Amino acid sequence: MNVLFLCTHNSARSILAEATLRHLGGERLRAWSAGSSPRANQQPNPIALEVLQAAGISTEGLSSKSWDVFAGPDAPVMDLIITVCDNAAGEMCPHWPGHPATAHWGFGDPSLVEGSHEQKLDAFRRTLHAVRNRIELLLALPPERLQKSSLQASARALASR
């Protein structure tokens, strides 16, 4: 199953989610991330990468990109698209090939935390923990709950956990 995580800039929450699902999903689920409006020359947030590496999660291949990359005819067909920030959830999305299931898992933006480097790290750690918890719940669903007919309801139900 292919899963796409969306956020506005594709630098923090969606990057954390992509890397975490890649780490935990094995052969069962494949993950990507993108942003509705990444800034010019946008890169993954360095603190997000630092927190992922400290958690033993690979950051290889992570990059910030526009969601347009996944709306084209050569893009992998997604089964599930999850917005992880409220801004992206409210935006007009492109037409996704294959009509994937959608869900919104809102997480606060750790990159907005001001303070010392340790305070910022702590915010990213908390967000990673919340993302990982939700992904573990998704992975724990029985196979029949991940079938196209029930996938959207299953993924949306996890938003409140």
15-74 tens-digit pLDDT: 999 999 999 998 889 999 999 887 778 899 999 999 999 999 999 999 999 988 888 888
Q: Does residue 156 lie in a domain region?
A: no
Question: What domain range is 111 assigned to?
Answer: 2-151
Residue 160 confidence (pLDDT) above 80 = no
pLDDT at 87: 65
Q: Which of 80, 85, 130, 138 is catalytic?
A: 85
Q: Which of 1, 93, 113, 121 is catalytic?
A: 93
pLDDT at 50: 98
Q: Is 159 an annotated catalytic residue? A: no
What value does the mean pLDDT take over residues 127-151?
A: 91
Q: Is 7 an annotated catalytic residue? A: yes
Total domains in the chain come to 1
Are the CB atoms for 151 and 103 separated by under 8 Å? no
Q: Does residue 20 lie in a domain region?
A: yes
Q: Does residue 69 lie in a domain region?
A: yes
Q: Does residue 160 lie in a domain region?
A: no
DSSP conformation class of 66: B
pLDDT at 156: 85
Beta-strand (E) ranges in 12-150? 30-35, 80-83, 101-104
Beta-strand (E) ranges in 11-156? 30-35, 80-83, 101-104
Cα–Cα dist 92/76, whole Å = 20
Q: Does residue 14 lie in a domain region?
A: yes
Q: Which of 7, 84, 128, 158 is catalytic?
A: 7
Are the CB atoms for 138 and 155 separated by under 8 Å? yes
Q: Does residue 158 lie in a domain region?
A: no
* Amino acid occupying residue 112: L
Q: Does residue 90 lie in a domain region?
A: yes
CATH number at residue 80: 3.40.50.2300
Q: Does residue 89 lie in a domain region?
A: yes
